[in-house]
Amino acid sequence: MNNIKSQQNKGFTLIELLVVISIIAILSVVVMASLGDARQKAQNNTRNSQVLEYEKALELFKSDNPEEGYPSNRRSNPNNYICLGSSTCQGFATDDESDNDPSLDERLQKYIQSWIDSGSVPYSGYDMNGLAYKCIDNPVVNGQCDEFSIQWYLVGKDQDCIRGAVPSNLPSSEITYCVFNP
């Protein structure tokens, strides 16, 4: 009699297997969601760190070049933003599009520890790339650039920009727009 009972209890029932599979599925969904949040936070932290790195580089440039101040846009339109460390910079246009000024990157290169590609932030069918820099004062009027602005995007609403930056949410999106004017 014991042999018959032990042979019947040797496996799992279908219900037990389905319960275990559903628990594993629920746990995997929770883990995947937290990994997505961690990836988003890492990307945003990278962008914020990159802005701080550029701020330090710009301050060092100004201290080494007091007659010039902060680097100004050497391109034809000084009102456009300049892309920092990236060949593409979308979403910061003041006129037609943002400029890419390789001479600015060359002038700042000795002050930057490492060039980091911070990736892109999807918004309204295209990607917001890079960091944008602008000399606020007109260098033609007073001969040097005394102030600057850096702008960038973070993934997610109400994200934390660096200290001193002004965050704002873009309408109907999951994007935070940050503006830093030291």
HSE-CB of 69 using CA atoms within 13 angstroms: 16
The pLDDT value recorded for residue 106 is: 79
Check pLDDT > 90 for residue 21.
Answer: yes
Question: What's the whole-model pTM score?
Answer: 0.70
How many CB atoms lie under 10 A from the CB of residue 123? 17
Kindly list the distances between the CA atom of residue 18 and the CA atoms of 10, 14, 54, 57, 104, in Å, as whole numbers in the listed order.
Answer: 17, 6, 54, 58, 61
Tens-digit pLDDT profile for residues 27-43: 999 998 888 788 888 88
**Average pLDDT score, the chain:** 76
Helices (H), the chain: 2-8, 14-64, 102-108, 139-142
Predicted confidence at residue 88, as pLDDT, reads 60
Residues 6+ apart with CB under 8 A from 73: 80, 82, 99, 101, 104, 134, 135
Name which of 16-25, 54-63, 161-170 the model is least confident about: 161-170
In whole angstroms, what is the distance from residue 30 CA to residue 137 CA?
A: 50
Query: Comparing 18 with 44, which gets the higher pLDDT?
Result: 18
72: confidence class by pLDDT, cuts 50, 70, 90? confident
